[in-house]
């Protein structure tokens, strides 16, 4: 029965547009515990204090979802059909081109979970899109969706790394997948390309130096010594992904809600510099960029300019 249910779930996930679906047994992540605690003790989380809370739930989904037996990991492609012009421009991370992925993917996750309940029966669980203390990349790795690269992002040998991760943690017993083999080898392109030296060693990121953190999560002023290395980034950074050889396999997404609107696509540096709050709210309605708020984007523009 578990095989039939597993196939049912994976086929429906594909129908809903998910790029891949893998499943692992819900358990304590003993192998992640020491590394995560060491990372926190080094202060590499910056001001993201929420990462220090609920450590028990982050490492054991059975404490997050009591009675859970399976972690269903899913990926959703966001590699753009067309990149926004970067010459003479400020740069947004590709994941922020369109509507907020949290909302887009959560709707699909809820449909998948509803389908599971309708087809299989009384299943208890929860859906997650970067919304709770879930060790997403660890579960995606265990579920065979890819390996964790030296830039700490999940990489798939057929699809690269431009995809979001999401999970359904439930009390359904299913067939479990095997972890993917790490295929980074001796390559250090991501480490070498990082303009702020944020990748301190393989799979270890010092958020205090990471451009994505500095331009999104960071609520303080960007340190003067890092301003010259922002490379015109004002919301996130894709450099460590852009140089990754595996991303030559990235294929454009088919999600209409991830396509940037015409006004955003046509912005140039001078337009960004003159950006008013009213224009910001109009262009980025329903966008993840709203996370930085208008004041944050203006801070980033001043720091990069």
| pLDDT, tens only, 36-86 | 999 999 999 999 999 999 999 999 999 999 999 999 999 999 999 999 999
The answer for residues whose C-beta is within 8 angstroms of residue 295's C-beta and 6 or more apart is none
SS3 170: strand
Helix (H) or strand (E) holding 205: strand 204-205
- Name the one residue in this structure whose structure tokens are 């203390």: 133
From 130, 171, 242, 271, active-site residue? 130
pLDDT at 1 over 80: no
Q: Is the pLDDT of residue 224 over 90?
A: yes
Domain layout of the chain by residue ranges = 2-170, 189-243+261-304
pLDDT at 131: 83
Summarize the confidence of residues 182-207 as an average pLDDT: 98
Q: 23 forms bridges with which residues in the sheet?
A: 72
Q: Is 224 a catalytic residue?
A: no
The residues with which 168 forms a beta bridge, in sequence order, are 72, 127
121 secondary structure, DSSP code: -
**Among candidates 305, 278, 297, which has minimal Cα distance to 89?**
305
Which whole number is the average pLDDT over 221-244?
97
- DSSP letter assigned to residue 150: T
Task: Report how far residue 187's alpha carbon sits from residue 184's, in angstroms, rounded to the nearest whole number.
Answer: 6
User: Pick from 159, 170, 128, 161: which is nearest to 6 by CA?
Assistant: 170
User: Which segments of the chain are extended strands (E)?
Assistant: 20-25, 70-77, 91-92, 125-128, 147-148, 154-155, 163-170, 199-201, 204-205, 233-235
Q: Which helix (H) or strand (E) holds 193?
A: helix 189-193
The strand pairing partners of 24, in sequence order, are 71
Residue 93 pLDDT exceeds 90:
yes
Q: Find out whether 231 and 305 touch, Cβ atoms under 8 Å.
A: no
Other Cβ atoms closer than 10 A to 295: 11
| Whole-structure pTM value | 0.96
pLDDT level of residue 250 (50, 70, 90 thresholds):
very high
pLDDT given for residue 100 in this prediction:
97
> Which two tokens mark 136?
């997403």
Radius of gyration of the chain (CA): 20
Check if the beta carbon of residue 155 is closer than 8 Å to that of residue 250.
Answer: no
CA atoms of 92 and 83, how far apart (whole Å) = 10
Q: What pLDDT shows up at residue 137? A: 97
Mean pLDDT of 265-283: 97
Report pLDDT for 305. 85
Q: What is the pLDDT of residue 73?
A: 98
C-alpha to C-alpha distance for 303 and 191, rounded to whole angstroms: 23
Eight-class DSSP state of 98: S
Specify which residues 156 forms β-bridges with: 160
Mean pLDDT value across residues 163-184: 97
Q: What is the mean pLDDT of residues 100-108?
A: 98
Among 37, 5, 10, residue whose Cα is nearest residue 143? 10
């Amino acid at each position: 029965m578990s095989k039939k249910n597993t196939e049912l779930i994976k086929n429906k996930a594909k129908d809903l547009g998910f790029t891949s679906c893998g499943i692992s047994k819900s358990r304590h992540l003993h192998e992640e515990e020491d590394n995560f605690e060491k990372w926190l003790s080094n202060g590499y989380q910056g001001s993201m204090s929420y990462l220090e809370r609920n450590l028990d739930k982050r490492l054991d989904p059975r404490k997050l979802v009591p009675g859970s037996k399976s972690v269903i990991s899913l990926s959703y492609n966001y590699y753009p059909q067309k990149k926004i012009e970067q010459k003479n421009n400020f740069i947004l991370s590709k994941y922020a081109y369109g509507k907020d992925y949290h909302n887009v993917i959560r709707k699909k996750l809820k449909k998948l979970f509803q389908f599971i309940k309708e087809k299989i029966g009384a299943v208890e669980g929860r859906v997650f899109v970067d919304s709770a203390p879930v060790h997403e990349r660890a579960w995606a790795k265990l579920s065979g969706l890819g390996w964790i690269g030296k830039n700490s992002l999940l990489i798939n040998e057929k699809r690269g790394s431009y995809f979001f991760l999401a999970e359904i943690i439930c009390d359904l017993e299913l067939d479990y997948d095997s972890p993917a083999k790490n295929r980074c080898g001796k390559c250090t392109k991501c480490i070498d390309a990082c303009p702020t030296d944020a990748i301190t060693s393989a799979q270890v990121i010092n958020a205090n130096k990471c451009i994505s953190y500095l331009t999104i999560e960071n609520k303080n002023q960007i340190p003067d010594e890092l301003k010259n290395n922002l490379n015109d980034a004002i919301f996130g950074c894709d450099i460590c992904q852009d140089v990754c050889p595996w991303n030559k396999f990235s294929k454009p997404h088919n999600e209409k809600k991830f396509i940037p609107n015409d006004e955003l696509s046509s912005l140039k540096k001078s337009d960004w510099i003159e950006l008013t709050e009213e224009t910001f709210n109009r262009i980025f309605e329903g966008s993840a960029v709203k996370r930085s708020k208008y004041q944050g984007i203006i801070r980033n523009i001043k720091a990069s300019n």
